[in-house]
Chain A
Amino acid sequence: QKEVEQDPGPLSVPEGAIVSLNCTYSNSAFQYFMWYRQYSRKGPELLMYTYSSGNKEDGRFTAQVDKSSKYISLFIRDSQPSDSATYLCAMSGDYKLSFGAGTTVTVRA
């Protein structure tokens, strides 16, 4: 079993829809939770960062962490075609990040 599980999709939604992404993990030591966005042939770009459990909102993006369930989510409201990318969850208990496999999202105009 992988340390971080993420459904690879692909996920296709119409413009304006809410995109819901999630990951589960097994390592209780993880305290720092991140979401990265990766466009084709580019490096991952840090989108959201959350420490421990709770919610964090940044514009159209909301990240949620439930440590009791070992489950994290990312919601994208009012999705745009420019949101089409691969979204990677990542988490850490120390200096090293463990990544999910990434979910490929396409927002249709």
Chain B
Amino acid sequence: GAGVSQSPSNKVTEKGKDVELRCDPISGHTALYWYRQSLGQGLEFLIYFQGNSAPDKSGLPSDRFSAERTGGSVSTLTIQRTQQEDSAVYLCASSSTGWPNYGYTFGSGTRLTVV
């Protein structure tokens, strides 16, 4: 596609429920990233994919968070047993190369609210 597409754009869920967030990167981009942006905070790195592999998962906050990427394209970020502190905007980005890094193209994000 022309840009990075994320769905849903907004998600309200009850505490304890599982959620899945989807990212469609720019076609041909091998590197894909997930970041989290909390109110008044900078962007927090979650995970990096190169192809279908995730060589860096160091930013995932807990084992409730997982992510996968299939076909070198679509990625899904799953949060199990959601907590109120998970409320944030989850941003996906892609780039044509992981290294060196000339900057990513971001999607518009999924705004997650846990009530």
Give the B-binding residues of A (Cβ under 8 A): 2, 4, 6, 8, 31-32, 34, 36, 41-46, 49, 88, 90, 92, 94-102
Contact = CB atoms under 8 A, between A and B. Distances in A.
Nearest to B104: A97
A29 B41 CA distance: 23
Contacts of A43: 4, 91, 93, 106-109
B31 A42 contact: no
A46 B106 CA distance: 9
A96 B48 contact: yes
30 contacts: A2-B42, A4-B42, A8-B40, A32-B100, A32-B101, A32-B102, A43-B91, A43-B93, A43-B108, A44-B91, A44-B106, A46-B104, A46-B105, A49-B102, A49-B103, A90-B43, A92-B101, A94-B99, A94-B100, A95-B31, A95-B98, A96-B33, A96-B45, A96-B56, A96-B101, A97-B33, A98-B45, A99-B35, A99-B42, A101-B42
Q: Size class of B's contact patch? A: 20 to 34
